[in-house]
Amino acid sequence: MELSKFLASLIPFKPDELQDIVSHFEKENIPKNTMLIEQGQVSKKLYFIENGMGRSYYLKEDGKEVTQWFFGVGKFMSSVDSFFQQIPSIYYLEILEDSTVYSISNENMDLLFYKYHKMEKLGRLVSIEMLTKVVNKLNAIQFQTARERYEYMLAEFPDISYRVPLGHIASYLGMTQETLSRIRK
Amino acid sequence: MELSKFLASLIPFKPDELQDIVSHFEKENIPKNTMLIEQGQVSKKLYFIENGMGRSYYLKEDGKEVTQWFFGVGKFMSSVDSFFQQIPSIYYLEILEDSTVYSISNENMDLLFYKYHKMEKLGRLVSIEMLTKVVNKLNAIQFQTARERYEYMLAEFPDISYRVPLGHIASYLGMTQETLSRIRK
DNA sequence: AACCGTTTTTGACATAAGTCAAAAGAAAAC
DNA sequence: GTTTTCTTTTGACTTATGTCAAAAACGGTT
């Protein structure tokens, strides 16, 4: 999904506004398995996924990867607190498939927020949407059996569920790979 | 914490702006055990807690209450998606102690967002803060033992942990009351 | 201070999911 | 097309937490 289409679908920007806003982003092609940011670094960019997909994950003390979120087409991908508060990231951001993304720097983002009231509103709407989704996941994780959690996954990320390694999904859902493998049958 | 102090701590509002904004809120005293909104209703108001505390919860199919969040002093309390999208609430909002709150209607909130760019920014900042906290809880719930989850609770809500019934905390943490009781020793 | 209702604790047992280890299957590299 | 590496499945056993039920502790009210 194109960035300008996405923006216009949320807020009625004028054509010249839209053009100005999009011009602050940079379109990039990113090959699979690219790390956009590593744990401990301060995130410099926010990404919008036109095509492809990625995930955020962190490492537990024992070194195991825990997938924290999947980012599909038409979503913003970032290490939220690192990007907006410019603090070291807890998460790795990884591109999982060859992807086309629009990236924007923190400075440019602030500039747009400052310049366009509507952009600030868009930021608020996107944040609240994300908040709602995280709350949904929380409810799934907290009070559902492993089987129901997998069903939540299929509902929330229908397109992604079949494209990533089992282990990524298992850790996303808070269960072991073995358990997920048993459930899928 | 006073509303105006809280607002000013996040964004440098001018005195007259601050006064205008606060005038759109209504200060109310609410006795404990009051239900601010019930499951299925559309949330008409957003609340800022000057003093006291509340929680949001929902009912599982088997009728058990599940605490979803606690709201303490200096926080906004709402059924986020119901208030902002004006859809039926999944949650109950309950005041747990005699409280003083500032409430604002959805229309007035929109009006403030529209009138003040800075207010929109505040909305974004508050949303992202909440998002970060929910993600924290998610990580605690997802990958920690019951004992560690209780420690997360003490860290996140130090003031609240000793003021609410055990059952509320247990369901908030995704465990049974019996388990929590055993842990606390 | 004795009573009643609510909340918390304790006990015995059940179970979903985790752990460890190895085999089978798929994908990538040569 | 064969080898190597990575991913998924299967099996046997362990464990943390849940369930159900009853007893104890607490808090408010008369």
Instruction: Check which CATH number belongs to the domain holding A116 and give it.
Output: 2.60.120.10
Looking at the DSSP assignment, which residues form a beta bridge with residue A93? A37, A56
Q: Residue A121: CA atoms inside 13 Å, Cβ hemisphere, count?
A: 19
pLDDT over 90 (residue A142)? no
Report the C-alpha gap between A53 and A158 in whole angstroms. 13
**The two three-digit tokens of residue A56, written as one number:** 């955020």
Most confident of A64-73, A107-116, A130-139, B61-70: A107-116
Chain-centroid distance of CA A121 in Å reads 19
Predicted confidence band at B64 (pLDDT cuts at 50, 70, 90)? confident
**Element spanning B59, H or E:** strand B54-59
Phi, psi at A56, each rounded to 5°: -110, 145
- Chain A nearest-CA distance from B122, in A, is 9
Specify the pLDDT at position B59: 87
* B157 CA, D30 C1': Å apart: 37
Residue closest to A162 by CA, chosen among A82, A70, A58: A70
Specify the pLDDT at position B178: 95
pLDDT over 90 (residue A103)? yes
Q: Which of A74-78, A126-130, B57-61, B134-138 has the least mean pLDDT?
A: B57-61
Report the C-alpha gap between A129 and B17 in whole angstroms. 28
Specify the pLDDT at position B1: 83
pLDDT over 80 (residue A177)? yes
Does B185 map to a domain?
Answer: no
What are the tens digits of pLDDT across the range B100-134?
A: 999 999 999 999 999 999 999 999 999 999 999 99
Q: Can you give the residue range of the structural domain that contains B127? A: 3-180
CA nearest A110 in B: which residue?
B121
DSSP string across B104-170: EEHHHHHHHHHH-HHHHHHHHHHHHHHHHHHHHHHHHHHHS-HHHHHHHHHHH-TTTTTTS-HHHHH
What share of residues in chain A are helix, strand, coil (percent, to 5)?
45, 25, 30
Question: Do A146 and A183 contact (CB within 8 A), yes or no?
Answer: yes
Decide if A156 touches B, using CB distance below 8 A.
no
* A132 CA, C6 C1': Å apart: 35
Does B142 map to a domain?
Answer: yes
8 Å CB contact of A143 and B174: yes
Specify the pLDDT at position B63: 80
**The two three-digit tokens of residue B148, written as one number:** 């560690």
Categorise residue A74: left if φ over 0, alpha if ψ from -120 to 50, beta otherwise. Answer: left
Residue type at B63 in one-letter notation: G
Predicted confidence band at B92 (pLDDT cuts at 50, 70, 90)? very high
Higher pLDDT, A127 or B159: A127
Task: Over range A142-163, report the average pLDDT.
Answer: 90
* Residue of A62, A135, A136 to mutate, testing the B interface (most B Cβ within 10 Å of its Cβ): A135
Please tell me the total count of domains within chain A. Answer: 1
Predicted confidence band at B51 (pLDDT cuts at 50, 70, 90)? very high
Cβ-based contacts under 8 A for chains A and B: 71
Decide if B110 touches A, using CB distance below 8 A.
no
Q: Which of A137-141, B27-31, B46-50 has the least mean pLDDT?
A: A137-141
Does B56 map to a domain?
Answer: yes
Q: Mean pLDDT of all residues in chain B?
A: 94
Is strand C within 7 Å of residue B166 (CB)?
yes
Closest by Cβ to A141, choosing from B128, B130, B142: B142
Decide if B81 touches A, using CB distance below 8 A.
yes
Predicted confidence band at B154 (pLDDT cuts at 50, 70, 90)? very high
CA angle B129-B49-A128, nearest 5°?
30
B160-164 contacts: CB < 8 A, separation 24 or more?
B160/B53, B160/B70, B160/B72, B163/B53, B163/B96, B163/B97, B164/B53, B164/B55, B164/B70, B164/B96
Task: Over range A84-113, report the average pLDDT.
Answer: 95
Predicted confidence band at A59 (pLDDT cuts at 50, 70, 90)? confident
8 Å CB contact of B131 and A132: no
Predicted confidence band at B61 (pLDDT cuts at 50, 70, 90)? confident
Is strand D within 7 Å of residue B104 (CB)?
no
CA nearest A176 in B: which residue?
B143
Does B79 map to a domain?
Answer: yes
8 Å CB contact of B80 and A138: no
- DSSP letter (8 states) at residue A88: B
Specify the pLDDT at position B128: 94
Predicted confidence band at A144 (pLDDT cuts at 50, 70, 90)? confident
